[in-house]
A and B are shown apart, each in its own frame.
Chain A
Amino acid sequence: MTHAEHTHSGHHEMPFWRKYIFSIDHKVIGLQYGITATFFLLFGFFLMILMRWQLAYPGVEIPFIGKALTETGALTPDLYNALGAMHGTIMIFLGVVPMAVGAFGNYLVPLQVGAQDMAFPKLNMMSYWVYFVGGVVMMSSFLMPGGAAASGWTSYPPLSVTANNAQTVWLLAMVFLITSSLLGSINTIVTAVQLRAKGLSFMRWPVHVWAQVATAFLLLLAFPPLEGAAVLQLVDRVFGSSFFLPSGLYIDGAKASVAGGGNPLLWQHLFWFLAHPEVYVLILPAVGVISEIISTNSRKPIYGYKTMVYSILFLGFMSFVVWAHHMFMTGMGVTLSSFFQATTMIISIPSVIILTTLLLTLWGASIRFTVPMLFALAFLPMFAIGGLTGLPLGLTASDIHLHDTYYVIGHFHYVVAPGTLFALMGGVYFWYPKITGRQMNQFLGKLHFWLSFVAINFVFMPMFLMGSKGVSRRLYDQTGYSHGAATQSWNVIMSTAAFVLLLAQIPFLYNMFTSWKWGKKVENDNPWEATTLEWAASSPPPHENFPTPVEVYREPYSYSPTSRKVRPQFSQQEA
């Protein structure tokens, strides 16, 4: 407490809007990202609940709100398409990435390298507000005549080029979101590299910092091609060019009046050149968060820290040369397919190494089953299921059967939902005491964990079976097909589980908001007895984080499973 009083007295009071709205403090900006992203995650989830109702009970009126959405009260096929496209877009670009990179990266990277703020505080504020504007523009597309963009989050042409005007709004919003990511990633890299505390050599970075830096490089180098592609599609839509429209294109039985000569596959190449690294943008920060939680709660150093770091870097590099494994079925040719099949098999190696190092960290450990640790332990098998089910998709032969089925949906949701989102939830429980000076309620935390863990598996596990039976991922009503009708009863189970999953988030949100004021106060600044630099700051940290500069004396994670002795990076004692 003396810490807080001391730093408070040294501050001149800033007006509310400077301190909390247009703040240049990385911690406030991190929380702004976190709160905004939480809103978008819930909104995207809600869209999916509507869709899951339609899938479970095709054509039946949605209870309570159905009449407000459509005349009959049931989703129309067009609305279903729009909700699907917006669910993907919102979850990825407005939810998970801003949460993983914007919130966790912003809040933790400067603290973990012992810096007082980001290298460019004003740029940091700008990146949040550009993201916010992008989010508002994206939301506004729901108000467009004809509804929101409905060409999928991938926006494949020619469909997207000939779609209604909401697609133009989608493209403009993407330009904002890409610009925001660009500014943020430059800031993260410069901060982590230039503002390191004395003694913090690169190989003393916590894994989370490595993961965030690798992620920032992916965002920096993979997003611009999508920006270029978005500009090309915008020109196609607004000025009538034909970058993505082939010659002899027929729409609704009539020959389209376009110059032609374009290449629809060009969009897919440019899009997936971003969107495959994007997968690793989603997973790497989660790996970073999980490493911190597992090491701290198992009282052991990460098994093979350097192996872990090199795997993260190799994974980042390889993620740039696997993009066309999303395009095996487009007829791009056997030569290209073989190449991308090979690189896809190679990229699974570092992923498995990362998982193995985390698993081996648990070997001979003295595990503390705290709420964050529960999420971290669940992350390991969930991420493993998500990763291993990707292999049959990466092999061209088995992909023929599985492509565009529910199997694919199950695969990547296992990586992102019980993978990344569980990691980030664990991260919230883990760093909450640092952010607020209070613990979240452990009982509500466990309730949240167990309900979510069971429900989420009932949502996604049946998708593998359904996909193996050949049910397409884009059907509005699968009962029209015999193989779809045969598995329709599973849809009811999945939809019920999805609804339970939504309810399971209530204790989490309640816990998050009430603990801010009424949670149990932490006794010191390092309640988990952790080793990295953020635990040297007071809780919550003052604006300048460290009133006196911190110095680093050793590698992170100097834990001992057999004794309670900890040697934090910032403590000089060799004890």
Chain B
Amino acid sequence: MSVQIPYIDEPHPVTGVTNAKLGVWLFLASEVMLFGALFSALITLRLGVNDWPHGYDILNVPLATLNTVVLIFSSVTVVMAWASLKMQNLSRFRTYMVLTILCSFIFLAVKAVEYGHKFEHGISPATSNFYAIYFVITGLHGLHIIGGIIVNAYLLGPGSRMWKTQPERFTGRIECAGLYWHFVDLVWIFLFPILYLL
């Protein structure tokens, strides 16, 4: 007899979620604390000095606005990818997943252009605490985007073989990946006004 783990593809009758979904929610709770700590650090640093610069004076607001739109769009496509699976349509799932990943790459490209401009002017984390916290928070967010790309690409490619054998479980995985992607999007929604607009 081998080990049987229940509630992998069906929700637990009491909690109403699968193991993976509960796990992802817990993971996101810890992520909230991680970014929460960094935002708190930003607030503390900002309140501690008189000459904190305004983001809109020294950062590229139009590019960041473009990135905001791109990320929100990708949040829609990742939901559509999941909905397509719910409607048993694997090819449409693939289309939406490709769009999601494409958006992630556009976001990273735009971010690279922004970073490039700063580096050209010799700006680094050592320049000032504003730039330091800017690079740390956007850099960490960028790493989360890359993580999302890896997960989504896996689920689009080799991971999608699971669809044939365990469609319920595969749909659950897409939902979990989607939850994570929404979180990454949500971090940007907070990050954009706090760093760029205030």
Contacts and interface: CB of A to CB of B under 8 A. Distances in A.
Interface of A: 7, 10, 115-117, 119-121, 182, 185-187, 189-190, 193-195, 220-225, 227-229, 231-232, 235, 239-243, 258-259, 261-263, 266, 269-270, 273, 543-544, 547
A241 B132 contact: yes
Contact of A232 (B23, B29, B33, B41): B41
B44 interface: yes
B45 A243 contact: yes
A119 B6 CA distance: 8
A547 B124 contact: no
A117 B168 CA distance: 22
22 contacts: A120-B23, A195-B5, A195-B19, A222-B33, A224-B30, A224-B36, A225-B36, A225-B37, A228-B35, A228-B37, A235-B125, A239-B124, A239-B125, A240-B125, A241-B126, A241-B129, A242-B132, A261-B129, A263-B44, A266-B44, A269-B44, A270-B37
Nearest to B4: A116
A225 B136 CA distance: 14
Contact of B136 (A220, A223, A235, A262): A235
**Which one of B4, B36, B37, B49 has the highest number of Cβ atoms from chain A below 10 Å of its Cβ?**
B37
A402 B135 CA distance: 41
Contact of B45 (A222, A239, A240, A261): A261
Interface string B124-139: 1111110011011000
Given A228-B38, A262-B45, 4 more contacts: A121-B3, A240-B126, A242-B132, A259-B129
Given A231-B140, A259-B129, A261-B48, A190 B22 contact: yes
A261 B49 contact: yes
B49 to A, nearest CB: 5
Given A10-B1, A241-B126, A194 B45 contact: no
Contacts, number: 130
B163 interface: no
Contacts of B48: 261, 263
Contact of B6 (A7, A185, A195, A243): A195
Contacts of B6: 194-195
A225 B126 contact: no
A262 B26 CA distance: 32
A349 B2 CA distance: 46
B34 interface: yes
Interface in B15-48: 15, 19, 22-23, 26-27, 29-31, 33-38, 40-41, 44-45, 48
B86 interface: no
A406 B2 CA distance: 54
